[in-house]
Amino acid sequence: MLQFRDNEGAPTVINRADYTAPAYRIDTVELTFDLDPAKTRVLNKMTLRRNPDVPAQALKLDGEELNLARVLVNGQGTSFKMDGERLVLENLPEGNEPFQLEIFTTCAPVKNTKLSGLYTSNDSFFTQCEAEGFRRITYFLDRPDVMAMYTVTLRADKAKYPVLLSNGNLVDSGTLEDGRHFAKWVDPHKKPCYLFALVAGQLVAREQRITSRAGKDHLLQVFVRPGDLDKTEHAMNSLMASVAWDEARFGLPLDLERFMIVATADFNMGAMENKGLNIFNSKYVLANQATATDVDFANIESVVGHEYFHNWTGNRITCRDWFQLSLKEGLTVFRDQEFSQDMCFEPSARAVKRIEDVRVLRTAQFPEDAGPMAHPVRPDSYIEINNFYTVTIYEKGAEVVRMMQTLVGRDGFAKGMKLYFERFDGQAVTCDDFAQSMADANPSSSLAQLLPQFKLWYSQAGTPRLSARGSFDAAAQTYTLQFTQSCAATANQATKQAFVIPVLLGLVGSNSGAALPLTVQGSSDAAADNHLFVMTGDTASITFTGVAEEPVPSILRGFSAPVVLDFDYSDAQLLTLLANDPDPFNRWEAGQRLALRSAINAIVDTSASTGASVLNDAYLSAMRSVLRSPQLDAAFKELVLTLPGETYIAEQLDVVDPQRIHAVREAMRLQIATGLQADWEWAFDAHQDNGAYSPDATSAGRRALAGMSLSYLCLAATQSGDAVWPGKALQRFKDAGNMTDQANALQALVTSGHALATPALARFHAMFKHEDLVLDKWFALQAGAPDRGGNVLPAVRQLMTHADFNIRNPNRARSVIFSYCNANPGGFHRADAAGYVYWAERVIELDGINPQVAARLARALDRWKRLAEPYRSAAREALARVAAKSDLSNDVREVIDRALAD
Ligand code: B3K
Ligand code: ZN
């Protein structure tokens, strides 16, 4: 059981089972803001009604850090009391007639370092209301199932805040006395308060008028600070592509006359889908070839798409309660993944995107599912909902939606979406409602037949393991695969029921390397290249007939389910798949399995020195074939040649020695660098592009492979003392025509530990000292650099004293602190515990500023229990040091208490 303090402000556990409908409905909200950084006045006039389905009771409005000045009911003063921070009204009119409630409060945006509610950034005003920030603006029923119509009037100094924005349509504006002005906005759609937004400040906009398929005109705007307009073209293109895609793929049009995106430098997450007024972390808006890498361009397309797609999946149909968060997030991640794939056009680029998405799932979500914060896609309880914007809700949630599409087919999925909107448009609903719509729209599908069991994906936490064994009967020409599934216990879920696991299968001839046609025993279906086997029991088997040669099974093609697959492949079988599998995902996976196996053998064989050769010749020559292949795309090659990360390797081990993992992986990198040196030289030269910069997937893949080549060449050269390639890297760093090539060259110097890294870093800083997002890269590169003799932590402490460091800016804090604690295991896990001491200091420091950011950092030690000594004891001590603070936020308290729980 979790233990919590029992003093004032003791955290309350919120349980899904306790959901009750709101006792009051709010039909309309009229907000008037007098914006002032130190004291903003908020007048909130609401029309409310009692909910006749709920027993009569007092109205309890949420509030946080507000100064209450006045409350009127139907224009008259009224008695009220406070219950903690809640405003309680007991003497409301009887009956079910609507009544007016007027609440006048003030708040202090300039003091709001939590960046939740109304805050200032660079002398402008912004809001962030999801999940529970609206209560920091005014007293309200701050829950997603209360949907209202909003009218918003903003008043502010005209010179300081010339642009005044809120949701919906601008219906009036004008000047006021004393140099002030106003703007009045009406949102034509009802919405939950978490989608409310306002922005006020000195902003300029890129504008684009578009006409939808239905012939409607819309205005698209991307607002940024003056001087940043030259970095908005890609975001605007991404927005236009998103609008077109949702109409084409799902028949979902833009339902607003005006759609705005605003960038801010201070933002807790990536972006926010406020109705018609998306507010973005500038990292996901601003890009040009001189300041942003290919990865930045791809992320912008994906996040712009994601927020836009929320306009239907999240905004038109929202969540009944926050336990249903994956209803909008899992579905919308699935939609943005599909969008990014569709934007690739080339089939191989689609596969690359899929591999990247799976890599995120396996390196971030699988550990979450096995750690102290494990929770189902639809959680059963939480203390701080902001802690549940997780890879499980987002990425695993997207995999659950993807499995539905696999089970009902692409057209069936579109039908399910249509039915979902027919049934629930304008409502706040549940994950069950979505799954039921999918099933009902596809009544003969396996999803419909298996729906209650399928929904265990929503209720059971943990990553299932799927074990498979194959047997070939040469005489009968049959091949049988036997499967068993299991899932480890997670908090409050000791035993698990069997999941529905869609397993996409193929067979590859072990001699010929050919794709073998699949005929399933007992089925009359014609032979096919792929077979979708839907596993429902604890065990199952399938037999293929007419199998002419011993096959190598290609299981879980395209990663058809979010499970760990155990199959005792021989090296030879993996080499066959790596060379021949028509499924690009499993082709990549075969290479990963080979590398992982070598890594694990070297890690657990403590008699061997970590400098010994880890990778065998067969692996290196297979990698050479991939690198030199005329058929494969550069982006795919780069993925195959990327070794499994240290975190992913750690997840395969019961006892984790991070320094040994780091040393073994570094030894592998060096072997790849030196063993393939001539091939890297060829690859670097063969992937030069001199034409105009374009961030498309194919060009980006070529740059990625050239960057990887340069990195390995510098690594090999630094070891051998050869100066040629580091010199070339420095030259490339100076000459690069785009940030991708420039950052890759800099990274090659930094990660190889070459002395030229120092002048290159100084030059980079001088070049970009006025570009915040580029400076973030400069900080992150140093905090994430491979550790050499414990040099990274002192460098990190030094970076924190740099004039450009500012812990209050989440991007900057992440670029230094998170890059070190979360993304640099070799530097962070120090035998002298100094990394953990630094972590504890920063968690406590950040918690006093911004609990959401602090709680993310707190999770860096989630997996401490599996660490080997001395790391384990030192990590526990660091956790205990944080836990001992009596004034922690609920955010950090929940994460730390879970980590320390038995
Ligand atoms: N819905 C927001 C996330 C809000 C997080 C609040 N702590 C962004 C997104 O998923 O699109
Ligand atoms: Zn989202």
Ligand 1 atom having least distance to the Cα of 131: 6
Atom 3 in ligand 1: which residue has the minimum CA distance?
A: 272
Largest CA-CA distance found in the chain, in angstroms, rounded:
94
Query: How is residue 118 written in tokens?
Result: 């109304």
Quote the ligand 2 centre to 392 CA distance (angstroms): 13
Atom 8 in ligand 1: which residue has the minimum CA distance?
A: 272
Q: What is the pLDDT of residues 641-659, one digit of tens each?
A: 999 999 999 999 999 999 9
Q: What is the pLDDT of residues 759-798, one digit of tens each?
A: 999 999 999 999 999 999 999 999 999 999 999 999 999 9
pLDDT of residue 607: 82
Pocket lining: 386 vs ligand 1, CB cutoff 6 Å:
yes
Q: What is the pLDDT of residues 669-702, one digit of tens each?
A: 999 999 999 999 999 999 998 889 999 999 999 9
pTM of the model: 0.98
Ligand number nearest CA of 322 is: 1
Say how many C-beta atoms besides its own lie within 10 A of residue 328's C-beta. Answer: 25
Contact (CB, 8 A) for 431 and 327:
yes
pLDDT band at residue 606 using 50, 70 and 90 as cut-offs? confident
Ligand 1 atom having least distance to the Cα of 394: 10
pLDDT band at residue 848 using 50, 70 and 90 as cut-offs? very high
Pocket test for ligand 1, best of 389, 391, 853 (most atoms within 8 A of CB): 389
Pocket lining: 269 vs ligand 1, CB cutoff 6 Å:
yes
Query: How is residue 97 written in tokens?
Result: 């007639």
Ligand number nearest CA of 115 is: 1
Pocket lining: 306 vs ligand 1, CB cutoff 6 Å:
yes
Collapsing DSSP states into helix, strand and coil, what is residue 614? Answer: coil
Ligand number nearest CA of 384 is: 1
Q: What is the pLDDT of residues 461-497, one digit of tens each?
A: 999 999 999 999 999 999 999 999 999 999 889 999 9
Pocket lining: 130 vs ligand 1, CB cutoff 6 Å:
yes
For 414, residues 6+ apart whose C-beta sits below 8 A from its C-beta are 249, 250, 251
Amino acid at the residue 585 = F
Quote the ligand 2 centre to 264 CA distance (angstroms): 18
Pocket lining: 862 vs ligand 1, CB cutoff 6 Å:
no
Quote the ligand 2 centre to 306 CA distance (angstroms): 6
Ligand number nearest CA of 269 is: 1
pLDDT band at residue 611 using 50, 70 and 90 as cut-offs? low
Ligand 1 atom having least distance to the Cα of 852: 7
Quote the ligand 2 centre to 331 CA distance (angstroms): 9
Atom 10 in ligand 1: which residue has the minimum CA distance?
A: 329
pLDDT of residue 1: 31
Q: What is the pLDDT of residues 721-732, one digit of tens each?
A: 999 999 999 999
Quote the ligand 2 centre to 838 CA distance (angstroms): 32
pLDDT band at residue 2 using 50, 70 and 90 as cut-offs? very low
Atom 4 in ligand 1: which residue has the minimum CA distance?
A: 130
Q: Helices 658-675 and 617-628 sit at what angle, rounded to 10 degrees?
A: 60
Measure CA 862 to chain center: 18
pLDDT of residue 610: 67
Ligand 1 atom having least distance to the Cα of 130: 6
Pocket lining: 272 vs ligand 1, CB cutoff 6 Å:
yes
Quote the ligand 1 centre to 579 CA distance (angstroms): 41
Collapsing DSSP states into helix, strand and coil, what is residue 450? Answer: coil
Contact (CB, 8 A) for 104 and 70:
yes
Percent of residues, the chain, with pLDDT higher than 90: 96
Query: How is residue 73 written in tokens?
Result: 């009911």
Ligand 1 atom having least distance to the Cα of 385: 7
Contact (CB, 8 A) for 472 and 547:
yes
Contact (CB, 8 A) for 58 and 88:
yes
Q: Is pLDDT of 7 > 50?
A: no
Say how many C-beta atoms besides its own lie within 10 A of residue 767's C-beta. Answer: 14
Amino acid at the residue 520 = V
Ligand 1 atom having least distance to the Cα of 314: 1
Three-state SS string across 534-599, please?
EECCCEEEEEEECCCCCEEEEECHHHCCCCEEEECCCHHHHHHHHHHCCCHHHHHHHHHHHHHHHH
Amino acid at the residue 476 = A
Atom 2 in ligand 1: which residue has the minimum CA distance?
A: 272
Measure CA 852 to chain center: 15
Contact (CB, 8 A) for 264 and 746:
no
Q: Is pLDDT of 374 > 60?
A: yes
Quote the ligand 1 centre to 713 CA distance (angstroms): 41
Q: Is pLDDT of 3 > 70?
A: no
Atom 5 in ligand 1: which residue has the minimum CA distance?
A: 130
Q: What radius of gyration do the chain's Cα atoms show?
A: 28
Ligand 1 atom having least distance to the Cα of 306: 11
Residue of 30, 132, 307, 894 with catalytic role: 307
DSSP letters for 788-846: STT-HHHHHHHHTTSTT--TTSHHHHIIIIIHHHTT-HHHHS-TTSHHHHHHHHHHHHH
pLDDT of residue 5: 42
pLDDT of residue 690: 80
Quote the ligand 2 centre to 123 CA distance (angstroms): 27
Amino acid at the residue 25 = R
With CA atoms as reference, report the closest residue to 193 among 164, 254, 150, 152.
150
Q: Is pLDDT of 598 > 90?
A: yes
Say how many C-beta atoms besides its own lie within 10 A of residue 204's C-beta. Answer: 17
pLDDT of residue 214: 85
Quote the ligand 1 centre to 655 CA distance (angstroms): 35
Pocket lining: 329 vs ligand 1, CB cutoff 6 Å:
yes
The span from the CA of 16 to the CA of 378, in Å, is 9
Ligand number nearest CA of 194 is: 1
Atom 9 in ligand 1: which residue has the minimum CA distance?
A: 272
pLDDT of residue 514: 98
Quote the ligand 2 centre to 833 CA distance (angstroms): 37
Contact (CB, 8 A) for 555 and 465:
no
Atom 7 in ligand 1: which residue has the minimum CA distance?
A: 386
Q: What is the pLDDT of residues 141-186, one digit of tens each?
A: 999 999 999 999 999 999 999 999 999 999 999 999 999 999 999 9
Pocket test for ligand 1, best of 116, 127, 136, 272 (most atoms within 8 A of CB): 272
Collapsing DSSP states into helix, strand and coil, what is residue 295? Answer: helix
Q: DSSP code of 287?
A: -
With CA atoms as reference, report the closest residue to 366 among 461, 456, 463.
463
Q: What is the pLDDT of residues 36-95, one digit of tens each?
A: 999 999 999 999 999 999 999 999 999 999 999 999 999 999 999 999 999 999 999 999
Atom 1 in ligand 1: which residue has the minimum CA distance?
A: 272
The span from the CA of 710 to the CA of 726, in Å, is 9
pLDDT band at residue 9 using 50, 70 and 90 as cut-offs? low
Quote the ligand 2 centre to 879 CA distance (angstroms): 30
Query: How is residue 394 written in tokens?
Result: 């987002």
Annotation says 85 is catalytic: no
Q: Name the strand (E) or helix (H) holding 759.
A: helix 757-767
Pocket lining: 131 vs ligand 1, CB cutoff 6 Å:
yes
Pocket test for ligand 1, best of 128, 195, 269, 274 (most atoms within 8 A of CB): 269
Pocket lining: 273 vs ligand 1, CB cutoff 6 Å:
yes
Per-chain mean pLDDT for the chain: 97
pLDDT of residue 6: 43
Pocket test for ligand 1, best of 119, 127, 128, 130 (most atoms within 8 A of CB): 130
For 558, residues 6+ apart whose C-beta sits below 8 A from its C-beta are 354, 504, 583, 585
With CA atoms as reference, report the closest residue to 394 among 452, 343, 326.
326
Q: What is the pLDDT of residues 403-459, one digit of tens each?
A: 999 999 999 999 999 999 999 999 999 999 999 999 999 999 999 999 999 999 999
Measure CA 792 to chain center: 27
The span from the CA of 305 to the CA of 238, in Å, is 7
The span from the CA of 103 to the CA of 80, in Å, is 11
